[in-house]
A = this chain, B = another copy of it.
Amino acid sequence: MLLHPEGVSVLYMTQLRIIFLGTGGSWPTVKRNVSSVAVKRGSEIILFDCGEGTQRQFQQSNLSYMQISKIFITHFHGDHFLGLPGLIQTMQLNDRDKPLHLYGPKGMEELTHQLLTLGYFRPSYRIISHEITDGEDIKFDGYNITALKVNHNVPALAYRLTESQRAGKFNKPKALKLGIPEGPLFSKLQKGQTVTLPSGEKITPDMILGPSRKGRTIVISGDTKPCEQIIDFSKDADILIHESTFDSKLQEIAREYGHTTASQAAEIAKKAKVEKLFLIHISPRYLDFHVLEEEARSVFAPSYVPRDFQEIEVKLKK
């Protein structure tokens, strides 16, 4: 068991990375493919949206699509889901047998059926489609994913990935003082198990661990107009990935088509007190994305417009 110098257990610090596979909106450009964000947590990849060409974006990144366990679709505009059939078929050609779970708003089951019966393709591994509704909270091993209805011109969901509470800080000096030998018992206590010392004394985790700590949180807006409810939904998130199709000069167009401007996204990030804001779904009209980044930063300093393939690590707070 590794102990951080400050006594924080790092054994359960599952690595959490975000890889921006497609940061463009509406249609692809040479620089930006259409929507797809991969969240890699440990050895599992959770994909959010899957625009056309996502399988090839995987090829160009250092990720393996064979590690995808779940795909969440925000809404049923082509630039968010047309990469599904090709990705599913390629995984089959590469002998996938692990089931794949697809999640999306109402209509997901019908869409899945359509996508799995195009041409001569028929799936040979299990593909399970789930329709989820506003407020639904799905529990997985180590994290939850919660859905929020947002305000686009078709039914659309935002998603929040929240890691489960983590055990509190391991107080190594106290453990040694209580006579617990360094080794497997440390590990059991950290996992929340009560241990028995050679002396017969029972040690419960609360004797050694500090108060439990918050897991990491990532919010993905999908396509939406600025909406109040996303502020609460994103409260104190580590990462808010918000659409920002246009800059504020095009606010009217943004409103007409159900999108958000860079400064509007930054206002949301500021009110939600998130740590960092990443702007995606950039309109093909922006050859120079700095106009969006600068606009957002004037409202909320830690704002970024990621490039395709950019990776960030979401660090655990101590």
Q: Does A27 contact B (CB under 8 A)?
A: yes
Q: Which of B52, B81, B111 contacts A83 (CB 8 A)?
A: B52
The residues in A between 104 and 133 inclusive whose CB is less than 8 angstroms from any CB of B are 107, 111, 114-115, 117-121
Interface residue? A29 (CB, 8 A): yes
A154-B106 Cα distance, complex, nearest whole Å: 34
Is A66's beta carbon under 8 Å from chain B? no
Cβ of A90 under 8 Å from chain B: yes
- Selected from B30, B89, B93, the residue in CB contact (under 8 A) with A60 is B30
A45 to B18 Cα, complex, angstroms = 39
- In the assembled complex, the Cα of A282 lies from the Cα of B59 at a distance in Å of 16
Q: Say if the beta carbon of A192 comes within 8 Å of chain B.
A: no
- CB pair B82–A78 under 8 Å, yes or no, is no
Min CB–CB distance A62 → chain B (angstroms): 12
Tally of A interface residues using CB under 8 Å: 36
A55 within 8 A of B: yes
Q: Is the CB of A28 within 8 A of B52?
A: no
A93 partner residues in chain B, CB cutoff 8 A: 26-27
Q: A290 at interface (Cβ–Cβ under 8 A)?
A: no
| A59 close to B28 (CB less than 8 A) | yes
- Asked if B78 and A118 sit within 8 Å, CB to CB, the answer is yes
Are B52 and A86 interface neighbours, CB within 8 A?
yes
| Residue A303, interface by CB 8 Å | no
A309 → B minimal CB distance (Å): 12
In this assembly, does A33 line the interface, its C-beta being within 8 Å of a C-beta of chain B?
A: yes
Partner pick for A52 among B29, B55, B60, B76, CB 8 A cutoff: B55
How far, in whole Å, are A77 and B122 apart by their CA atoms in the complex? 11
Chain B minimum-CB-distance residue to A24: B56
Point out the residue from B33, B82, B119 that lies within 8 Å of A85, measured CB to CB.
B82
Q: Is the CB of A56 within 8 A of B28?
A: yes
A118's partner among B53, B59, B89, B114 (CB-CB below 8 A) is: B114
> Which residues of A in the span 41-66 have a Cβ within 8 Å of any Cβ on B?
52-53, 55-56, 59-60
A interface list, Cβ under 8 A from B? 26-30, 33-34, 52-53, 55-56, 59-60, 76-79, 81-83, 85-86, 89-90, 93-94, 107, 111, 114-115, 117-121, 154
